[in-house]
Amino acid sequence: MTFCNKQNPLKGQNKVGKKVFVNNINITLEGPLIVERAQELHQLLVERLDGVTEKCQQATIDLSRVSDIDACGCQLLALFVESLKRRGATPVLAPAPVGVTERINTLGFRDLLALQPER
């Protein structure tokens, strides 16, 4: 599948590559998180996850630049959050635009993608 020539949707500390020396990491997602981009997003999230070591305490996922999300995107994000927890990091979701937040709620992912640091 070919996708729109959007920029790399994942920014943040990707210059560092596989090793991260700081305790907190920041992950910024951009553009639409939809099924058409699922493979691409998955690959990039896996790379991000590789950068998470035991030293990481908090992983902030910035959703403020996400333009759209569908059920597939929600699922991917939810599993990413789970995987972060499993690696001992505390995921924090920074708020998404209102439309996206509403969509997440509509799709029933309100609890899985709780936008507060921890319940």
Partner 1 sequence: MNRAAANSKGTGMTTPTGEKSSVDLNRFNEVFFEECAENLAEMEQILISLGDREPDHEEMNAIFRAAHSIKGGAGIFGFQDMTVVTHVMESLLDRLRNRETPFVPAMIDLFLEAGDAIAMQLAWHREGKAVDQEAIDRVRAKLQQAIEAGAPALEPPVEPEQGSPAPHEEELLPRRCRLAFTPDPEIFARGIRMESIISELTELAEPGEFACSARLMELPDLPELDPERCITCWEFTLLTRASREQVLDVFMFVADEEQLTIEEEPVDRRGPAEEPAPEETLLAPAGRRAYDSSEAAPGAFGRRGGEAESSIRVNVTKVDQLVNEVGELLITQAMLSQIVAGLDPVLHQALQRGLTQLERNTRDLQASVMSIRLVPISIVFNRFPRLVREMAAKLGKQVELKTVGESTELDRGLIERIADPLGHLVRNALDHGLESPERRVSCGKSPVGTLQLSASQVGGRIVVDVTDDGAGLNRGKILAKAVECGIPCSESMSDEEVWQLIFAPGFSTASEVTDLSGRGVGMDVVLKNVQAIGGRVQIASEAGRGARFTISLPLTLAILEGLSVAVGAEKFIIPLNVVLESLQPTAEQLKSVNGREVVQVRGEYLPILKLHRIFNLEAEVTEPQLGILVLVDADGERGAIMVDALLDEQQVVVKSIETNYRRVEGSAGATILGDGRVALILDIPELFTMHKRL
Q: Please tell me the distance from the alpha carbon of residue 96 to that of residue 101, in angstroms, as a whole number.
A: 6
Rounded to the nearest 10 degrees, the angle between the axes of helix 71-86 and helix 38-50 is 10
Q: Can you tell me the distance from the alpha carbon of 66 to that of 58, in angstroms, rounded to the nearest whole number?
A: 20
Give the shortest CB-42-to-partner 1 separation in angstroms.
Answer: 4
- CB neighbourhood size of 93 (10 A): 19
- Amino acid present at 80: F
Choices 10-18, 34-42, 59-67, 92-100 (CB under 8 A): range interacting with partner 1: 34-42
**Is residue 76 within the footprint of partner 1 (CB under 8 A)?**
yes
Nearer to partner 1, 57 or 106 (CB): 106
Binding flag, residue 110, partner 1 (CB under 8 A):
yes
Quote the CA–CA distance of 112 and 119 in Å, as a whole number: 11
Contact status: 94 vs partner 1 (CB under 8 A): no
Contacts with partner 1, residue ranges (CB under 8 A)? 1, 35-36, 38-39, 41-42, 45-46, 49, 70-72, 74-76, 78-80, 82-83, 86, 103, 106-112
